[in-house]
């Protein structure tokens, strides 16, 4: 044994004791279970190789950690032991082989049941009445949590029939997934800390000193073992004992099954693994127990676990790795999504190198930085995600992540619309990340109606570099197209003819074809009718655009941002060159008198004679610009009932405030003199 081995064993004991404290006492685990298991296995192997390294306070010599001082201690007359773990099929065969060799048996019957991811609890019944509930604690001494367990609806306060004088039953308290999601939602709405996972939520609920809080938590329980009984003989098999517990009114997992031999165990493991994500509660493996209780007694125990049972763990859904860098991906709609590039790690049955970070708000909430050691989670087929950072392992001089101001693909300006968490690239016609979807929309029937330009052909054109933006479509030749997959000279000629036909369009169709977010056919038509030509539309600011019927502040900002981006202007200029697209401008009816032309008006409060929307539309028809906020450029504020703060701001700026009677005069053409 070297000094390195001695030092490593001491380090492992220190780390495991620290993580025991975080997990069992604070209910705030810092690392995933798989990492804890790895550390424990390393220490076990060291102590097996060098027994002199084994100390009395080693984590390998005890089950858990000390109970909280806030609860009364409970001494377990029958220790609450943990289980040894199996991580592979070979481990399960070895477990079965040891039993057969020790008992000199053939294939034996086992009970297989889900390994619930919750908190182990002991229930003590005297003459059928629940008198005590205790946590496992360190296996010998736990915590009295009777008042909290009494609030769990699944736990009977009184057994229903044929109960013994004394019964101590063991089980697992857990929180169903749906209840966990609802609890976290309530926590967020109340501005309180959310729970990392259902197991944490269940443990935190049971350790509430105020049982009224625990009563509001959606806890459940399944019983899986009998610790002691007086006044009645028990069935001689594990499965029959579970059935007997059900007759007393105690909850038992309905998925428990009898299986034969190691292959029966593994078949059950596979079946349950396939159902795992659809279960109403979290599980992290399967428990196998010898079904014959008499054989259990013959097998006996090792220091901390029974020889006749084992927990077969699923591939870890959470693992530790290092987040090397954060990159930005640009989606088909221009959404910027941060992605974690990770040191490769095996999690959930696959090697993971990338994980989603969702958006900047999530990065800031979880305080994730480049260089951090992070917890990566992968459940089933769900895209891997970074759960959080291990702050105690954070390198010095790390920096908070900042989202880029320009699109990393095309360099266009990035915008964030108020009320949204996602940042978006504004280079819709130019951005390579948005090319395919933008071209497909441009060619669609309700837009430019380019017959024959289907999705697969668009994919080919972009991937081969023949089309980089929609303007390039009109430079394609028959020879270029005829050489593509599934294209011949005739179909190529037909597409060129369809492109030529699409050049004659309308302003509304062209606006819709540009693919501006939130601008559908109706909005495109409204813009065309209101302004008449494209140049006017491209020159408008956000406030001016809101004068168009049905164009609110969000849509107006999308339109203004789109036309402010130089890349988009360049593509539009290409499309408007001679022999390219052409349309007739819309004739705007200027014969209608617009006595309020040039006036900016703000509406506030409610009116008796018409709604705010009707008032806005009527004022706009008379040429007024109806704004949403008061500024020094406002001409009038028209106040109805309960006007709010806009009147005060108007008065502070010296802006005239009119009532509903004055509004009617304006609508009747009786223009008031400026005040």
Active-site residues, by number, are: 115
Cα separation, 565 vs 414, in Å, equals 10
Determine whether 302 is exposed, middle or buried from the number of CB atoms within 10 Å of its CB (0-12, 13-18, 19+). exposed
DSSP annotation of 257 reads E
**Residue the block writes with tokens 């813009």:** 527
Q: Is 191 left (phi over 0), alpha (psi -120 to 50) or beta?
A: left
Instruction: Decide yes or no: CATH 1.10.150.20 for domain 404-588.
Output: yes
Tokens standing for 360? 């900047």
Q: Which residue intervals of 276-316 are DSSP H helices?
A: 293-299
Listed in sequence order, the residues at least 6 apart from 43 whose beta carbon sits closer than 8 Å to its beta carbon are: 9, 12, 13, 16, 58, 59, 60
Instruction: Decide yes or no: CATH 3.40.50.720 for domain 600-667.
Output: no
Q: CA 38 → CA 60, 119, 290, distances in Å?
A: 13, 21, 27
Provide the residue ranges of all domains of the chain, joining segments of one domain with +: 3-61, 74-313, 318-393, 404-588, 600-667
HSE-up (13 A, CA, CB side) for residue 437:
13
DSSP string, 488-513: -HHHHHHHHHHHHHHTB--HHHHHHH
Average pLDDT by stretches of 10, the chain with 675 residues: 86 84 69 87 90 79 57 91 91 95 88 95 94 92 91 88 93 95 89 84 87 89 95 94 93 95 96 92 95 94 90 87 94 87 87 89 91 86 83 92 92 81 85 87 93 91 91 94 89 95 94 91 88 94 86 89 92 94 81 73 89 80 80 90 87 90 83 50
* pLDDT for 673: 45
Cα separation, 607 vs 600, in Å, equals 19
Cα separation, 614 vs 660, in Å, equals 13
Statement: the pTM of the whole predicted model exceeds 0.85: no
Class of domain 318-393: mainly beta
Output the CA angle 311-243-235, nearest 5 degrees. 90
Question: Domain 3-61, what fold?
Answer: Helix Hairpins (1.10.287)
**Residue the block writes with tokens 């007393």:** 248
- Superfamily of segment(s) 74-313: DNA ligase/mRNA capping enzyme (3.30.470.30)
Q: Which residue intervals of 207-335 are DSSP H helices?
A: 211-215, 238-247, 261-275, 293-299
DSSP string, 350-361: EEEEEEE---HH
CA proximity to 15, closest of 49, 48, 46, 52: 46
* pLDDT for 674: 47
Cα separation, 661 vs 377, in Å, equals 64
């Amino acid at each position: 044994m070297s000094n390195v081995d001695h030092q490593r064993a001491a380090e492992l004991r220190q780390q495991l004791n620290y993580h025991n404290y975080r997990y069992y006492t604070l209910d705030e685990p810092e690392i995933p279970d798989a990492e804890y298991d790895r550390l424990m296995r390393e220490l076990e192997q060291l102590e097996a190789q060098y027994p002199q390294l084994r100390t009395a306070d080693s984590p390998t010599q005890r089950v858990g950690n000390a109970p909280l001082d806030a609860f009364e201690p409970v001494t377990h007359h029958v220790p609450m032991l943990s289980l040894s773990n199996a991580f592979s099929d070979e481990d399960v065969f070895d477990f079965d082989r040891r039993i057969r060799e020790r008992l000199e048996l053939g294939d034996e019957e086992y009970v297989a049941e889900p390994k619930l991811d919750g908190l182990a609890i002991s229930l003590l019944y005297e003459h059928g009445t629940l008198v005590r509930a205790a946590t496992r604690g360190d296996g010998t001494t736990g915590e009295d949590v009777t008042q909290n367990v009494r609030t769990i609806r699944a736990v009977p306060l009184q057994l229903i029939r044929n109960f013994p004088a004394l019964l101590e039953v063991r089980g697992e308290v857990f929180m169903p997934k749906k209840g966990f999601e609802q609890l976290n939602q309530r926590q967020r709405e109340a501005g309180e800390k959310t729970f990392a996972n259902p197991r944490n939520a269940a443990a935190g609920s049971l350790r509430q000193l105020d049982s009224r809080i625990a009563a509001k938590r959606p806890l459940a329980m399944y019983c899986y073992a009998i610790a002691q009984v007086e006044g009645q003989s028990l069935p001689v098999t594990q499965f029959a004992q579970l059935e007997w517990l059900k007759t007393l009114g105690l909850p038992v997992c309905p998925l428990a099954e009898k299986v034969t031999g190691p292959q029966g165990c593994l078949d059950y493991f596979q079946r349950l693994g396939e159902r795992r994500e659809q279960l109403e509660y979290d599980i992290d493996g399967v428990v196998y127990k010898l079904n014959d209780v008499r054989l259990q007694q013959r097998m006996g125990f090792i220091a901390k676990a029974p020889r006749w049972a084992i927990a077969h763990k699923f591939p870890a859904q959470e693992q530790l790795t290092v987040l090397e860098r954060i990159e930005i991906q640009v989606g088909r709609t221009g959404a910027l999504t941060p992605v974690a590039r990770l040191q490769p790690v095996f999690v959930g049955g696959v090697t993971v190198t990338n994980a989603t970070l969702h958006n900047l708000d999530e990065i800031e909430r979880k305080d994730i930085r480049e260089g951090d050691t992070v917890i990566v989670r992968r459940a089933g087929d769900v895209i891997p995600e970074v759960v959080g950072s291990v702050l105690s392992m954070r390198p010095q001089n790390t920096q908070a992540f900042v989202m880029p101001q320009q699109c990393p693909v095309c360099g266009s300006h990035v915008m964030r619309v108020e009320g949204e968490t996602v940042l978006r690239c504004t280079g819709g016609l130019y951005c390579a990340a948005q090319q395919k979807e933008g071209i497909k929309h441009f060619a669609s029937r309700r837009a430019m109606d380019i017959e024959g330009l289907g999705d697969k052909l668009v994919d080919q054109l972009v991937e081969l570099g023949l089309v980089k933006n929609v303007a390039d479509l009109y430079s394609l030749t028959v020879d270029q197209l005829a050489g593509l997959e599934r294209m011949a000279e005739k179909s190529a000629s037909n597409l060129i003819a369809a492109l030529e036909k699409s050049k004659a369009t309308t302003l509304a169709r062209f606006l819709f074809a540009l693919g501006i977010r939130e601008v559908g056919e109706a909005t495109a038509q409204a813009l065309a009718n209101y302004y008449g030509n494209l140049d006017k539309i491209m020159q408008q600011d956000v406030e001016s655009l809101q004068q168009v019927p049905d164009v609110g502040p969000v849509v107006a900002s999308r339109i203004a941002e789109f036309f402010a981006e130089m890349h988009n202007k360049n593509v539009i200029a290409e499309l408007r060159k001679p022999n390219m697209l052409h349309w007739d401008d819309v004739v705007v009816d200027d014969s209608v008198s617009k006595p309020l032309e040039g006036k900016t008006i703000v509406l506030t409060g409610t009116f008796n004679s018409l709604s705010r929307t009707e008032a806005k539309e009527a004022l706009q028809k008379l040429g007024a610009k109806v704004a949403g906020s008061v500024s020094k450029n406002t001409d009038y504020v028209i106040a109805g009932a309960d006007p709010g703060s806009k009147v005060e701001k108007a008065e502070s700026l010296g802006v005239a405030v009119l009532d509903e009677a004055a509004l009617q005069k304006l609508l009747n053409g009786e223009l008031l003199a400026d005040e």
